[in-house]
Chains A and B, each alone.
Chain A
Amino acid sequence: MTLELKGIEKTVGEEVHIHPTDLTLEAGSFNILLGTTLSGKTTLMQLMAGLDRPTGGRLFVDGRDVTGMRVQDRNVSMVYQQFINYPNWSVFENIASPLRVAKVSESEIKARVGQMAELLKLSAMLDRRPSELSGGQQQRTAMARALVKDSGLLLLDEPLANLDFKLREELREELPKLFADRDCVVVYATTEPTEALLLGGKTATLHEGRVTQFGTTGDIYRTPKDVISAKVFSEPPINTATIRKHDGRITLGAVASWDPPAHLAAVPDGDYELGLRPHHISPVPGEGRDVKIAGEVLVTELSGSESTVHIRVGNETWVSLSHGIHAFNVGATAELYADMRHAYYFGADGALIAG
């Protein structure tokens, strides 16, 4: 099925939770809602599911208006951040529950639950209760329950957030396989840009109840439409600063200056916003990193094979993420080298100046 949001909005009292949103999610597509906590991911999902009524706009499934339709009539399933299963039912009964509601025959229930259990590696624990399972297995059960019925819309609200690192990676690898060959619209909410990149599909960046950009995940990452989308889709946060174009040079306060790229030649002189991802600035020069930026070291973090250095650049705090161990003393001045070929330039309205 295809899900279409036309001007969907949600206000509670004076507060706008979701600004009018247009979004078309195609059949068989994998869509990621990327945004921080309280950016409106869950609200938007609940509006899509019909768990919550929009205060404006219409919702269409395959061109049919379903705005007022009850959630149980809509053929949706949802997986939550918490592991939601029926506490006093066995894993088998939990997975079977949507089929029982749909009055599927006993033999088919057996076959389909068995198949799902196989796929999600739950075959050995079908007789157990959720409380006897590990967190990962509980979430697998919840996923099996959501997948066992052929729902048209499958919503996953940060399903991996409550799992520990290892289980999260394991399940994340399996996820795309589970949704392949399905006709349903999958919507996956996450706060982590890395997770969005690993999962692929399409991404909608969300910021304060507004979808700022929607498109193929890789494209959105490479070409953010505006400074907000770039901020949402960057981990660690993208470095920003106000720069000035003047006399054919770009200056970043008194810190650095460099030649503008070709696509900036035509824009008039003045102030612009610069965006540079943390991995394009490093303590080691070379490979295009030719703009020296010096600043006071605020924080350094060494994690295995990567170094993170926070320095003060003008009024901003910049982060550099680089391979190898680079130790700096807090309070000292660090010299970092930026690759400005990868920099984004945003106009006064925040929109990207296309390259």
Chain B
Amino acid sequence: MNKTVNQKAWLFVLPVFVLVAFNAIIPLMTVVNYSVQETFGDNTFFWSGVLWFEEVLNSERFHDSLFRQLMFTFSILAIEIPLGIAIALTMPRKGPWVPVCLVLMALPLLIPWNVVGAMWNIFALPDIGFLGYVLNALGFDYNFTRQPGDAWFTLILMDVWHWTSLVVLLSYAGLVSIPDAYYQAAKIDGAKGWAIFRHIQLPKMKRVLTIAVLLRFMDSFMIYTEASVLTGGGPGNSTTVLSIDLVKIALGQFDLGPAAAMSLIYFLIILLLSWVFYTLMMRNEES
């Protein structure tokens, strides 16, 4: 068959190109532009090559925030994914309680992020906050504004409270889509709770769980608002994760070159890790 070449077809694709150019490619290119130049006042630029990349990659400060970022992300993944699955398993599959549960679960997801941060900040204050007061009354020496360990505890607790619902809702969607016949077949085979979970529910939830892990990974790796309102990266630098550090460099110190280089490295790390996660979780699917 002969293919007809129709150059006019490009016109139909053009709007998408323009849209993507304006919302992604052009902003990204400005960042690339800053990352390879030294910027002075009056918009004077000097070529600096890979200098900023070298500086960022060799700086201890970057290593520290990256390490904190990884610690944070893996902690919340290790808590939120199993907890989310567990909650989804206990939710009713049918009946009048289903909508009630779903609304309760969706609630934390509907609260603006900075409000979540402010809420938890007040909630956890050792003198007037409920959580802080109760912990101290119980004999714990708790003060998240002064002790790094407490700050981490509060930060992770806040994220678990805020985002476990997302994992719950995704897992629940995966669970209710399993036909009843699977459970009957398991019953006939004499399979019990754990075996049903391991051999039916978990494999059937695999796709939604992959999405849950990816979403939670990407989102938590970019966490800024809640953490910045709750601890502002403190005490000291103890909860300064990558994005907080980036804002400090870019807007606090106005080091546009290093900030741009760091943004690109940050972006590439997320891209790389997402790919690794996806490949690992989908490995068996394609073999």
Contacts and interface: CB of A to CB of B under 8 A. Distances in A.
Task: Answer whether A and B are interacting partners.
Answer: yes
Interface stretch (A76-84, A251-259, A282-290, A317-325): A76-84
B187 A86 contact: no
Nearest to B181: A80
A84 B188 contact: no
Contacts of B200: 86-87
Contacts of B63: none
A72 B187 contact: yes
Given A87-B200, A88-B203, A98 B187 contact: no
Contacts of A131: 285
Contacts of B204: 87
B185 interface: yes
B179 A84 contact: yes
Nearest to B200: A86
Which of the four size classes fits the interface of chain B?
10 to 19
Nearest to B199: A86
A259 B188 CA distance: 57
B181 A87 contact: no
A205 interface: no
Given A82-B179, A82-B181, A88 B284 contact: yes
Contacts of B75: none
A131 B184 CA distance: 20
Interface string B187-218: 11111000000011001100000000000000
Contact of A49 (B182, B188, B190, B284): B188
B284 A72 contact: no
Given A82-B179, A86-B200, A88-B203, A101 B185 contact: no
Interface in A157-216: none
Contacts of A60: none
Interface string A81-109: 11010111100000001100100000000
| Secondary structure type dominating chain B contacts | helix
A87 B185 contact: no
Contact of B184 (A78, A97, A98, A101): A78
Given A84-B181, A84-B182, A72 B190 contact: yes
A51 interface: yes
Instruction: Name the residue in A46, A88, A101 with the highest tally of chain B Cβ atoms < 10 Å from its Cβ.
Output: A88
A302 interface: no
Contacts of B181: 80-82, 84
A80 B199 CA distance: 18
Interface residues of A, number: 21
Given A82-B179, A84-B182, A87-B204, A51 B187 contact: yes
B182 to A, nearest CB: 6
A71 interface: yes
A101 B204 CA distance: 22
A81 B204 CA distance: 18
Contact of B199 (A78, A89, A98): A89
Contact of B189 (A46, A97, A129): A97
Contacts of A129: 284
A97 B181 CA distance: 17
Contacts of A84: 179, 181-182, 185
A80 B189 CA distance: 14
A88 B179 contact: no
B194 to A, nearest CB: 14
Contacts of B179: 80, 82, 84
Contacts of B285: 131
Interface string B243-287: 000000000000000000000000000000000000000001100
B47 to A, nearest CB: 53
A241 B276 CA distance: 70
Interface string B202-246: 011000000000000000000000000000000000000000000
B286 to A, nearest CB: 10
Nearest to A97: B189
Instruction: Name the residue in A46, A80, A98 with the highest tally of chain B Cβ atoms < 10 Å from its Cβ.
Output: A80
A149 to B, nearest CB: 10
A76 B190 CA distance: 11
A194 B70 CA distance: 64
A98 B185 contact: no
12 contacts: A46-B184, A49-B188, A51-B188, A78-B185, A80-B185, A84-B179, A84-B182, A84-B185, A86-B203, A88-B203, A97-B189, A98-B189
Interface of B: 179, 181-182, 184-185, 187-191, 199-200, 203-204, 284-285
Given A78-B185, A87-B200, 7 more contacts: A49-B188, A51-B184, A51-B187, A80-B179, A80-B185, A87-B203, A98-B189
Top 5 A-B pairs ranked by shortest CB distance?
A72-B190, A88-B203, A87-B203, A80-B181, A84-B185
